[in-house]
Amino acid sequence: MLKTVNKHLIKTYFHKNITIEHKQLQIPTNEILTYLQPDKFNSLCKEGCSNFNKKWTCPPNCPPFTEYAKNFSQINLHLFYTRTDQFNFIEAKNRGLKAYNFIKEELQSYLHDIESENNIMIAANSCEICSPCALASGKNCPMPEKIRYNLVAFGFNVNAIMNDLFQYELKWLDKDKAPDYISSLAAILQK
């Protein structure tokens, strides 16, 4: 079993302290290719996501991962997860989504801070700099240097990565009830 680095962070959300568990694992980039299935997962995006072909960072507009990552020898995976009962001050029907958005933003902020000229973030979700994305009106991205793709858009099986590499079971958001834990996965590609 690969060894993860485990830490936790305390962050503040609406003046409440929230503990976020942080697992980290670095592997050679070619070892993550086991989990790359763009045909399958891009099809799921096409069938079920309103962002399909509406954002420059979403399928079918993101480059093949193997091309994008060819100059990066290592991938450093970062999993953030947190207990949703820490968000009990939010009404139950909105709790899961609010908790998810909170840790997703915290993860992206954490990874943005450690980006450098030798590495680049693979984000936790699609680009949200403009709303809507310029692609929705057929325009080029005005800030291509800020584009960060994400694992799902590349076609990775995020569920399997969490299960196999982090021994973490992904819990899906339910419409009316938050799962016990909520999580977000992103990465840093390193030269």
Q: Is 57 in the site for ligand SF4 (CB under 6 A)?
A: yes
CA 52 to chain CA centroid, Å, is: 16
With CA atoms as reference, report the closest residue to 189 among 117, 119, 125, 124: 119
Residue choice 83, 130, 164, 181 for contact with ligand SF4 (CB under 6 A) = 130
With CA atoms as reference, report the closest residue to 113 among 19, 4, 188, 16: 188
Q: In this complex, which beta carbon is closest to ligand SF4, that of residue 8 or of residue 112?
A: 112
Q: What is the dihedral of CA 47, 102, 28, 5, to 10 degrees?
A: -140
Residue choice 141, 162, 185, 187 for contact with ligand SF4 (CB under 6 A) = 141
Cβ atoms of 191 and 184 within 8 Å: the answer is: no
Structure token pair of residue 32: 């993550």
Q: In this complex, which beta carbon is closest to ligand SF4, that of residue 18 or of residue 152?
A: 152
- Residue 128's contacts (CB-CB under 8 Å, 6 or more residues apart) are none
Q: Is 150 in the site for ligand SF4 (CB under 6 A)?
A: no
Using the rule CB under 6 A, give the single segment among 32-40, 52-60, 66-74, 89-97 that binds ligand SF4.
Answer: 52-60
Residue choice 13, 41, 56, 149 for contact with ligand SF4 (CB under 6 A) = 56
Cis peptide before 144 (omega within 30 of 0): no
Q: Is 127 in the site for ligand SF4 (CB under 6 A)?
A: yes
Residue choice 129, 167, 169, 174 for contact with ligand SF4 (CB under 6 A) = 129
Q: In this complex, which beta carbon is closest to ligand SF4, that of residue 24 or of residue 61?
A: 61
Residue choice 120, 121, 122, 133 for contact with ligand SF4 (CB under 6 A) = 133
Identify the helix (H) or strand (E) that includes residue 152. helix 151-154
Residues in the site for ligand SF4, rule: CB under 6 A?
55-57, 127, 129-130, 133-134, 141, 143, 146-147
